[in-house]
Homo-oligomer: A and B are copies of this chain.
Amino acid sequence: MSQEPIPFNQLKSLLHASGRRMTPQRVLVFNILRGSGNHLDAKRIWQLAREHDRRLNLATIYRTLAVLKEIGLVDQRYFARDHKREIYELAQKPEHYHFTCLGCGQVIEFETAHILQVGRELVEQYGLRLTNTCVCFEGFCVECTDEIVMMEGVK
């Protein structure tokens, strides 16, 4: 009778199906990703998680994220700003890409068919098998561009 799949059970079955165990830590991290909407790094997830479990260790966050990624519930990405930090988000949305504003830090998500098209061409022309694609843009959003223009004018 339930209209939508219950992600909690989905988590459980995916874990068990891969010989893993369902732990409070994993449920917690998964729920944080589900609730918080968007784009968190490991440390931020850790901060949020510690509000529920003071004891939870950052290493566990990393290991949990790796598991959630492996069973396909979570996507790990790199954003433009600094490519040295891993960003995580729930793997539920349709294929999309990201732009990061260097001024205000906001991330804009967008869809486009062009990237998939590039992949298709790679497969055709080189016979490659793609397993992962990283695409990200950075620059300045409208507001931040305006702000910069204004400050230039003041000078």
Contacts and interface: CB of A to CB of B under 8 A. Distances in A.
A115 interface: yes
Given A112-B118, A114-B118, 11 more contacts: A80-B132, A84-B84, A101-B128, A110-B125, A110-B126, A115-B115, A115-B118, A128-B142, A131-B139, A133-B137, A134-B136
Contacts of A99: 122, 126, 128, 130
Copies of the polypeptide in the assembly:
2
Contact of A83 (B83, B102, B118, B139): B83
Interface residues of A, number: 37
A140 interface: yes
A80 to B, nearest CB: 6
